[in-house]
Amino acid sequence: MRKQYLLRLFSVLALVFLVFACSSSRKAARSPEGKLMNALEQWKGTPYVLGGTNRSGIDCSAFVQVVMRSEFGINLPRTTADQLGVGIRVRRSRLRAGDLVFFQTGRTTRHVGIMVNRKEFLHASTSSGPMISSLDERYWSQRYMRARRVM
């Protein structure tokens, strides 16, 4: 009788442990950072193609549009210029995961990405496709324009 009680108690404790372990890992995967890392894994290796909108090739604004829709249910315009007009302006010192960041990469060329944390952003790079870069990198720091909060 005592063995059955201990076995049942152990089974209940093991079940409780599994439930809490699974719920905490699911919670982490549902965080904005987790969703963005998931998107990176799904899109890694996709080449940058100006005007591209799918896994055969994608540009920065289409990548941001697709990721924000699939991971957060947020519909954004297709182009970087139009994405600049959505949401509310955010100071660089107040950036957080999910904020859109914009860069002036040429006289008339702009680039957009999604903040993963306070320093790094996810974007479709012209040289490497979807990747994470740091705002502290000299290239990006010198070209930073502004940020918009859409969620």
Catalytic site includes residue 60: yes
Among residues 35, 123, 124, 133, which one is catalytic? 123
* Interacting residues of 18 by C-beta distance below 8 A, sequence separation 6+: none
Among residues 35, 110, 111, 148, which one is catalytic? 111
Among residues 60, 64, 68, 95, which one is catalytic? 60
Say what angle helices 32-43 and 2-30 make with each other, to 10 degrees.
70
Which H or E run contains 133?
strand 129-134
Catalytic site includes residue 111: yes
Catalytic site includes residue 123: yes
Smallest Cα–Cα separation from 143: which of 116, 107, 114, 115? 107
Which residues participate in catalysis according to the annotation? 60, 111, 123
